[in-house]
A and B are shown apart, each in its own frame.
Chain A
Amino acid sequence: MTEITRPLAGRRRRGSGPVPAAGLRVLLWGLGHGLALASRVSAPIRSQITRTLTVEISADDGVARHWNFDAHWHRVSSAAGRAGAPDFAVRFTSSGRALRALTSPRAVDRIMGGLSHGAVRLEGNPLILLWFNGLVRRLVQAGRADSSRRALPGGYLAHDPAANGVEKITIEPPVGELDPRSTAAWNARARLWIVRGGCGDPLQEP
């Protein structure tokens, strides 16, 4: 999951044992305290802590750590051991497997691959894994070039009247929000999941 922790994986072994268990314990300690510290000083990380939830990473041989995300303060705290009722958990069958997966540059691939072979169990929404992975990458890969950021040729960056055939697009000055006079539209908008979900409302359909 992190490049900074890759040296910890130097003594890779399959299965359980004191060495991989110790390595995993150190790795999780680093990620735990690193994220907790970063949530105090890093605005980009704080801005992603939008829900109060608990994430756990553990191995069946006993190594475990959990992170408590606090949406109110945009902070993280972390503690060794299993959480009582985590919202999301990644459980490995052994510390060795956990260490190999978490220190891989393709950690998500490793974890999901382990899922298909029974070496990993996920509890909760798998998308939380991607979110957590994104936080960790913020922590330890700051400044690394993002290969997905690039200018592709032929970008349409401003309105071009010649780009629409014979049709003419009606364009009015930019606005910052829906017209305040449109009461009915505001009321209808408030019922959309994209608005309610963003505000943290429970999304329950009839």
Chain B
Amino acid sequence: MNRTTTPAAGLSDRALGWLRFMWDKATISDDWSDLGEPHPWWDRYSVPPMCAFPRFDISYMAYVLPVMLETTPAWREAYTRIADELIRRYTSFWGAIDWCTLVGPDPGVDRYPPEWLVMIPERLRGRYAIPGWTGNGVEPWGLQPDPVGADGNLFYRGWLNLLLGIRRYVSGDGGEHEPFDVTGYRNRTFTWTHARIAEFISAQLRSRPQGPHCENTKIWPFCVSAAGLGLKLYDALLGTSLHEPFPRWVDYARQHYMSLTRAGDLDTFALYYDPIEQQLMTLPGPFVAYGVLPCLPYLYPQDRRFAVWLYELAVRRLGWNSPDVPLGRLHPDAHDLCTVLWMAHEMGDTATEDRIRDFAESEYQPRFFGDENDRFAFWFGYDSTWPRGQLNATLMLAESGSPGAWWRVFNEPRPPPASEPVLRGVDYPSVGIRRAQNDTAQGLLSIETTAGTPSRRGEPTSFTIDQIPRPAQASVTVDGRGSASWQVTGRDSIRLDLDIGDHQISVAFPG
């Protein structure tokens, strides 16, 4: 089946297929307590050792939700449900398993495989904890049982804050002061709110010019950038100024965490900096760009000019922009290549995007799968039952939104349509929503449905449209023909009855 296009006005079959699989992952009943284990489809395998935790799959998976929302701003239910399920897992034992179990010095510090050792400064190899070993409890920090309230572990609370912001964005709900529990060391629980986490991160960023630590004791530009982005979104949604310290950190990073050759090429870029060892870890040769690439999605919405400059430096250093060199010969890392494809798409670098997309199409095994062949993902050459979540979450951003969609989430956020029609009670995933957009000037709500579950095609379904002004004066067309299969159900709501399938629905409402 040839289903690869990305219609400008609606979610593509691929995007809908990825959303369907995200729904599966989010809504399955698996046990993330210390007595259970996440379902194996949660990606705790990619980018070992530092990202091989299921929490990273959660974080990355959420990014596409606000991007998809741009195409269906009048329908938010599925995105909200997925975000809720992600947060529930993130705050569980397995969400913070690294901080809560990788305690004390790593007893295996002299047994790392060679490909992990290269992520440690040469002089420290064989006696220094690998990236990802959080080392909670070591001197001088002591045991800090709260995964959020800690001197280190920024990569936990920074991404949690971003995830909470995304949840708020896609749901349109408030709740920044609503308390929730986070599971910590020995299953102790700690109560936080979105607002307190954001203010805490901002305070740490303000008082620590190098940036807060992740593992004890490593500062990652990657993680500080993500933490900054969470603050950026918080400010965009709530009108605060918690992001204010971040530009100063960018200045610091430009001065101390990177350098150029005399020819203006990227020479060093910190994978991380350890202020106790006074050691900046940077990879040699073109591998230096691997320190830059993970930062780009987070920096781009915060400092577009800096991020574009870094992107160009990194892509040139890797040679991925050279049309004369086959990418396959360069042994590109899949996650980094996915990131560059997403960023090329986001920034409008069509030459690089086309080149990498061609490579991904031929090498990364895109396919529909599942009982009804309606889920979609890339397999990346892995002989695995389930597609790699972290890699797909990144690559699918280039499939699910138009250029600039990610930047707009943080800089031109769409407030919840308080006075525009919205869909409620859609029987997802039986019914898929390819598009749901209001044109308030024309007084028109446009909806495209599809059979989210193909075996349900043709069965009756219904959903409600709320916030319709003077609903008795509305008119509905389905597939270009006037429809009488709707009724007023409230003072500002109507209910549509239809069959599950591909339909173009227009609801005209008085302005």
Contact = CB atoms under 8 A, between A and B. Distances in A.
Chain B residues touching A, majority SS: loop
Contact of B149 (A122, A138, A157, A170): A170
Determine which residue in A169, A176, A194, A200 has the highest number of CB atoms from chain B within 10 A of its CB, and name it: A194
Interface stretch (A20-28, A89-97, A110-118): A110-118
B151 A206 contact: no
Contacts of B130: 194, 198
B45 A203 contact: yes
Interface in A173-206: 173-179, 182, 184-189, 191-195, 197-200, 203, 205-206
Nearest to A108: B285
A137 B278 CA distance: 20
Size class of A's contact patch? 35 or more
Given A127-B114, A178-B103, 5 more contacts: A149-B123, A149-B279, A159-B151, A164-B204, A198-B49
B31 to A, nearest CB: 11
A175 B202 contact: no
Interface of B: 34-35, 37, 40, 44-45, 48-50, 52-53, 93-94, 97-98, 100-108, 110-118, 121-123, 125-127, 130, 132-133, 137-146, 149-151, 185-186, 190, 196, 199-200, 202-204, 207-210, 212-213, 252, 256, 268, 273, 275-287, 319, 322, 325, 329-331, 382, 384-386
Contact of A148 (B207, B276, B279): B279
Given A177-B104, A198-B111, A188 B48 contact: no
A126 B115 CA distance: 9
Contacts of A199: 108, 111
A188 to B, nearest CB: 5
Interface stretch (A8-16, A29-37, A60-68, A128-136): A128-136
A154 B127 CA distance: 26
Given A165-B200, A165-B202, A206-B385, A197 B285 contact: no
Contacts of B48: 193-194, 197, 203
Nearest to B385: A206
B346 to A, nearest CB: 25
A205 B285 contact: no
Given A173-B143, A192-B52, A167 B34 contact: no
A162 B110 CA distance: 37
Contact of B114 (A51, A166, A185): A51
A137 B106 CA distance: 25
Nearest to A71: B111
Interface string A136-173: 01100000001011111111111110111111111111
A106 interface: yes
A104 B256 CA distance: 26
A138 B141 CA distance: 32
A48 interface: yes
B104 A192 contact: no
A154 to B, nearest CB: 4
B208 A150 contact: no
Contacts of A187: 34
A152 B275 contact: yes
B101 A174 contact: no
Which 10 A-B residue pairings sit nearest by Cβ, starting from the closest? A47-B126, A165-B203, A108-B285, A155-B275, A154-B209, A198-B108, A206-B40, A131-B114, A189-B101, A184-B34
Contact of A146 (B121, B276, B283): B121
Nearest to A178: B103
A177 B284 CA distance: 34
A185 to B, nearest CB: 5
Given A171-B143, A185-B100, A48 B37 contact: no
B323 to A, nearest CB: 12
A118 B80 CA distance: 49
